[in-house]
Structure 1
């Protein structure tokens, strides 16, 4: 994997500062420690840091085609590049390397902007065509690889893999986007295409940008692939053998490498399936890594060990105990903006230990979105059944009253914890889903936010963004609507961002077989009822893996990859937490009601309520704002 930097100016006489390009490129060395290069001429800059995976000798970048017409800086892997290479050779194109990079530049020469439709893989790249004077930037369909961009006051369009590189370009203003703060406090991440900065954007998954020096006003930001074209609620007949074969092929495609590779292994269904297919396809034992926690409630390492023994992998487990605040700053430095998913910590640690053994790892990410593996899908499906039976104009006010007055019994037996169910039944399905996904309920955030901040938001909310997305597919069932929302928000904004930044911070490439776009297109056509049956989830996937995976994997309940955050935070003194959170940079923004912040911390430390996730988010935000002032 690699780091991408590019700059475009419509004036071919514009003098791009070489030192700025070098500093931007250097800031992403962790993404590509094996080499670097740059091209600067005629109002154009392309720069690159390389993590050599394929064609170790011949894949240096920026790379130009044989005619020296098209240059590219590229981050990713194109899994069908050999077939495309043969197709292009048949069309008369010649190649100097065996890399997938050179396939992209020749594909551009042949198919222009439609070249991205030919690519199957994970990618973010920027190329420049000297003949047409056009710059073309593209991101893969699901958003596995990142690409950020910004426009400077003197009309430079600047691209980079990470925000830290854009911050090295001193002409990019760094004013905070308050709407992004609302996203972050609601969800723990920032909804794309926004970043924490007003001037810095994220190219959306499945989109490209086209710029042209011959037409200075031209700025095309366009989708070349969209989920809406594939997601349906129709009941699709499926063949279990076809699912099995497709998964096997996607894993085989992602085992393409000229360096050692392995896999993340939690012992759950998804990672175990990846390891099972890899074991079938490899003559050598697979190298696997897992994380264990100091609190057994969160520890899956026992299951990972059992799966490892079953498939005879070369396995290692790293135990994690984090009860200090040093990891907060590490998260901020890694992600460049507030990011509150606490599983970033074990992912960073897992990536580091995995990189000591291999350069490429496969993971099971994307399966839960595709096959309805999250508990939220199961709960919404259950709520919809209850709504159809009990909720009408007469009963809805009753559920509203029950939601308001029924006590929150976190420590009671599950059958007595009905407050969230009453609240869900009093809401529409999308609001219920939002409440399940958010760091804290909307009422808590309303109390936390200052009057000034709410006025500045002018009605903007992450919930309304969810509702807008649901409207795009309002012909679908509520459960399919939230699947669509997850693919548009949580998957690229949280899951894939976490895996990319954490792994690339350690110079490790992570590949995600479940997000092969052809598999995703097929899976989006499945009716949710095929995967959600009673207490079971991911039935289509589980059925396709019978005979491949041992029963203890197929039958165990999903735990989820997270950390024991509530207890870790309670090991930190309340005074220390308040000092970190109520720092001058955070307080000076006038976002929060300070008394409510203190009450949130106090209630958590007193074990009145579990506010660990919210407190963690506040710690990360305070650390980010403090770093901004330094």
Structure 2
């Protein structure tokens, strides 16, 4: 795991100042504490920060072929590099190291751009081809590793693992993109096809971008996508057997490392499954770690302890207070863009705990997206069935009218909070799901925005991204479309961004075996009843792990990391809530109606309404404005 950065002149081979590349690296030292390197040639500069994982002595970067016609900087891991290397050796290639980085160079020389289809892993890399005078940018299939880029006024393109590395370049004009603010206010993160800094782009998951000097900059090319258009016809028993085999292979391939390795263990289905298969494959006790809370309703350590004892892991637990708001500024620094998923705080703490003993940790990320584990997946499936029973001409006025007049009851038990459900049933499936994944509804955002900000959006609406993704999905039914949209938008934008930034903040490599692309492709072909059955999501995954895990681990209610943000804004962060409405950088932008912001803060403090999540969103946006644009 590393950090990369670089400069490529698109028009002419102007000299590149190595000190400028070095400054881009210096902006993100946490991504590579074990070494750094810069290489320049006419018109190009590549920089690398190293967190040593494979071939500690011989994998230094930037790495060049012996004739110096190819150079690469690489962030991530190629798990099948030994097999690809053996194939290349059989074709006559001579290797000087035992690193997966060198496999990229020889793979490109042998197969050209098609080499990426042979790589199984998580990666973002930049390869310079001197003979073609071309720079090739590549990102892994699911978007585990990030890559940002931007064109500058001097005719160059800059790229880097984190936005802050681009900000370090003096020619990058720092201006906010208002549509990204709208996206963030809707979702709580800035999606991969947007950026808070205008002009900066993120290479999409499963995409490559080839830049040839002297030619116009092309659009990225997608080399991989997941399809839900086919259904497996295998028997349930055969599906179970195939799934276990895929899980086993995915976990074992991610246990290859030349440094200490362990796993996060929450005691839920996903991380427990990974630990179970790690224990099966390991000749020694697996190192596991769990974060617990000093509030019983939030604490999962008892479940994690059970799994640890079952598989005799070397287990460590640390109890922390949910009141961990002291991390806010540190989180803002590492995320660069605003990020409102409050589970980032405990994620940082569990990464911090893991890093005390290991350099690599396996996580359970990805199973909810691949196997339909979220409650919203079940609601979408059920809602689409209801929508299918009534024609739109009846459904829209009926449920729309009921929804408009039904009281908004955030304080009530969940089963009585029907307003949103009724409004979603009135609309179509894409609109309904777009609303369910958002955290600030469109109507609320419209009340908060100033007239000038709404004009500046020029009709952009964040929900349209989900609607388009679901409409165009290679899919057969409502569940397929919802999962496809989550894999394309939510997974890289929220889940993988959170894990990457929080693990890298402490120089820890996190690996996601449940996002092996073959596993994701398998899950996408499952019949609906093998994903959701009754009120249980991830049905086949749970069923296949019954031989490994007890029933109360497999079928207990999902908890996840929870932080008491609503209480914070009535206590220690009450002052921050008030400042959002007046005196903050956010208030001074003119984007929001400050009277509305003041009302939100006051109603929350008084207990009239619960606006904890909204206030957290606004606070993190305010922090990002300071980080990215120097607004205080």
TM-score normalised by length of structure 1: 0.96
Assess, with a 3 A threshold, how the Cα gap between structure 1 residues 298 and 233 changes in structure 2: closer, same or farther: farther
Aligned counterpart in structure 1 of residue 229 of structure 2, from 228, 232, 245: 232
Measured in 2, the distance between the counterparts of 1:266 and 1:427 equals 37
SS of residue matched to 2:190: coil
Per-residue CA deviation, residues 344-398 of structure 1 (Å, 9 max, x unaligned), is 1111111111101100000010100000000100111121232234565234312
Answer yes or no: is 1:115 the counterpart of 2:115.
yes
Would you say the 8 A contact 1:391–1:425 is kept in 2? no
Cα offset, 1:584, TM superposition: 4.3
Give runs of ≥4 in structure 1 deviating > 4 Å: none
Cα offset, 1:325, TM superposition: 4.7
Answer yes or no: is 1:62 the counterpart of 2:62.
yes
- Which residue is equivalent to 1:223? 222
Measured in 1, the distance between the counterparts of 2:208 and 2:535 equals 41
* Number of aligned residue pairs: 627
Would you say the 8 A contact 2:46–2:73 is kept in 1? yes
SS of residue matched to 2:55: coil
Deviates more, 1:234-243 or 1:63-72: 234-243
Assess, with a 3 A threshold, how the Cα gap between structure 1 residues 586 and 431 changes in structure 2: closer, same or farther: same
Root-mean-square deviation (Å)? 1.7
Measured in 1, the distance between the counterparts of 2:470 and 2:489 equals 12
Would you say the 8 A contact 2:576–2:619 is kept in 1? no
Deviates more, 1:230-239 or 1:343-352: 230-239
SS of residue matched to 1:201: strand
Measured in 2, the distance between the counterparts of 1:412 and 1:580 equals 28
Would you say the 8 A contact 2:79–2:121 is kept in 1? yes
Cα offset, 1:420, TM superposition: 2.6
- Equivalent positions of 1:135-534 (< 5 A) are 135-213=135-213, 215-227=214-226, 230-232=227-229, 234=231, 236-237=233-234, 238-323=238-323, 325-389=325-389, 392-473=392-473, 476-534=476-534
- Which residue is equivalent to 2:5? 5
SS of residue matched to 1:219: coil
Measured in 1, the distance between the counterparts of 2:592 and 2:521 equals 42
Per-residue CA deviation, residues 109-154 of structure 1 (Å, 9 max, x unaligned), is 1111111111110000001122222211100010000011011101
Measured in 2, the distance between the counterparts of 1:68 and 1:16 equals 17
Measured in 1, the distance between the counterparts of 2:433 and 2:296 equals 29
SS of residue matched to 2:221: strand
Assess, with a 3 A threshold, how the Cα gap between structure 1 residues 171 and 207 changes in structure 2: closer, same or farther: same
Measured in 2, the distance between the counterparts of 1:476 and 1:607 equals 45
Cα offset, 1:460, TM superposition: 0.5
Would you say the 8 A contact 1:603–1:609 is kept in 2? yes
SS of residue matched to 2:393: coil
Assess, with a 3 A threshold, how the Cα gap between structure 1 residues 225 and 326 changes in structure 2: closer, same or farther: same
Per-residue CA deviation, residues 505-524 of structure 1 (Å, 9 max, x unaligned), is 11000000011111111211
Cα offset, 1:70, TM superposition: 1.0
Give unpaired runs (5+ residues) of structure 2.
none
Measured in 2, the distance between the counterparts of 1:576 and 1:616 equals 10
SS of residue matched to 1:361: strand
SS of residue matched to 1:425: helix
SS of residue matched to 2:262: strand
Cα offset, 1:13, TM superposition: 4.2
Measured in 1, the distance between the counterparts of 2:200 and 2:583 equals 25
